[in-house]
Homo-oligomer: A and B are copies of this chain.
């Protein structure tokens, strides 16, 4: 029947689009995150372009774990703004309580996807709050970004890790060294004209 409930099945495209859409609604652009990446990486790669930074942020945002953390964090920020949380949790999130560390925990699950080399970059931008992070930390706006500021810093740190991995691959290629491709590159290599990783 028309109104029979469909059995649940994850819709990954809907999750990916909700992630981008909520970042946008909360006032964060991909370019602003890419600016943080540039800030973190330009010292190491003087030729790094904004296009590369943007592409790497988008690749980070394509990862399911990252989407889960972004949506969950923004959800908690939005509910805090609406005053709909348990009173004690409401108090802590609304006031960005220093001893409440769940925002850092979600941020870490983002950084981790590209490995531990991103830990330092995350901590650094989270402490210094450059660019978009300064705006997200402005407590005068009435908006609550207790989770989002950590999330944005984590996405930038993860994109930086992704760049570091890619640049090493390029360096070895340019040196004519034998290169051992990582998972992503391997997947790409196997591909011959089809538009998805071959059934394994």
Check A181/B126 contact, CB under 8 A, given A89-B75, A200-B166: no
A101 contacts B199, C-beta separation under 8 Å = no
Q: Does A143 contact B (CB under 8 A)?
A: no
- Interface residue? A117 (CB, 8 A): yes
Contacts A72-B102, A123-B127 given: A97-B10 contact, CB under 8 Å? yes
Q: Would you list which residues of chain A between 11 and 37 have a CB under 8 Å from chain B?
A: 11-18, 22
Q: How does the 8 Å CB contact mask read for A69-105 relative to B, with 1 for contact and 0 for none? A: 1011001100100001111110110110111111011
Question: Chain A residues in contact with chain B, CB under 8 A?
Answer: 8-18, 22, 51-52, 55-56, 59-60, 62-65, 68-69, 71-72, 75-76, 79, 84-89, 91-92, 94-95, 97-102, 104-109, 112-113, 115-117, 119-124, 126-128, 162, 164-166, 168-173, 175, 177-193, 195-197, 199-200
